[in-house]
Amino acid sequence: MLTELAHWLDGTVLASAMRETFWVVPMTQTVHILAIAIVFSASVILALSTFGYFGEGWPYARWGKRLKRWTVWGIGVLFLSGILMVTGEPERSLLNLMFQIKMVLLVVALLLFWQLNKRIDALGNGPLLSIPLSTRLLTRLLGLSILTCWIAIISAGRWIAYYIG
């Protein structure tokens, strides 16, 4: 089924347009990297703030809500630029094991992100220590897991270009 989809995408007008215009692929990759910068940094800051790295002045309850908006926008841009890159080279991406691993990890990251934000949304803007210990530990675990997922996703993403099969 993936093979058929790849063949179909390969035959679209958009795919041939992308093959013929030199700058579209590097430009799309640039946009993709800029969006990764936003999403990844937001998750680094969020994970660190669950450990109190930024001090009491930056309760993660408040920052989590701010960073969520950044992350959601970033992921939106990643999706669009990602779809464009897949259309440009469908067989090299869709049928690539690294790409498939990346997509599975992405689903895991999004599920963890949703769970973390559910916890954060329920918090008030009070100091870190006013949050129950169990919630603090859980948000730390979720924050670190999300970070690990993004690192794995970026690694798999870069390896798509090198892995054959």
Interface contacts to other proteins, rule CB under 8 A: 22, 25-27, 29-30, 33-34, 36-38, 40-42, 44-45, 48, 53-55, 57-58, 62, 66, 69, 151, 154-155, 158-159, 161-162
- Encoding tokens for residue 15? 């795919």
C-alpha span between 119 and 105 (Å, rounded): 21
Q: Residue 7 or residue 69: which is nearer to other proteins going by CB?
A: 69
Q: Rg (Cα) of the chain, in Å, rounded?
A: 19
Q: Say which amino acid occupies 49.
A: S
Nearest CB to other proteins, comparing residues 43 and 139: 43
Compute the least distance from the CB of residue 7 to other proteins, in Å.
Answer: 26
* Closer by beta carbon to other proteins, 40 or else 51: 40
Let me know how many helices (H) and strands (E) the chain has, helices first: 7, 0
